[in-house]
Amino acid sequence: MDPDAVAKAFVEHYYSTFDANRAGLANLYQEGSMLTFEGQKIQGSQNIVAKLTSLPFQQCKHNITTVDCQHSGSGGMLVFVSGNLQLAGEQHALKFSQMFHLMPTPQGSFYVLNDIFRLNYA
């Protein structure tokens, strides 16, 4: 497993799904998954998707600037992303950083065990 290839594929899939249909992110999380979104802690796929689909904007577009990844031990992978987030109707894009800890599934795919998102204010 080439971590860079896994990270690249995951990042493309995650953000294109987020931008097209946030509800579609559900199968990337499991019951033990954790999201910390701007300091708010949420656990479990249902609650995480409820949080993401309730964010106060209709449309958004993530533009990814950097992707770094490393093996986390025990088969997992850490992915560290920075970029900007354009909300429909807003003049200026927001900057963000996000980290994911991906764990392998028995089917040979990955799910998100840990997810931490922060906006980077000017």
Residues at the interface with a second copy (CB under 8 A): 34, 36, 39, 41, 66, 68, 70-74, 76, 78, 80, 82, 95, 97, 99, 101, 103, 113-114, 116, 118, 120, 122
Torsion angle of the four alpha carbons 81, 52, 42, 7, in this order, in degrees rounded to the nearest 10:
-30
CA-wise closest residue to 6 among 72, 92, 59: 72
Taking the least distance from each CB to a second copy, the nearer of 17 and 36 is: 36
Shortest distance, position 102 Cβ to a second copy, whole Å: 11
Shortest distance, position 106 Cβ to a second copy, whole Å: 16
Taking a C-beta distance cutoff of 8 angstroms, is the pair 62, 81 a contact? no
d(CA 1, CA 60): 32
Shortest distance, position 40 Cβ to a second copy, whole Å: 10
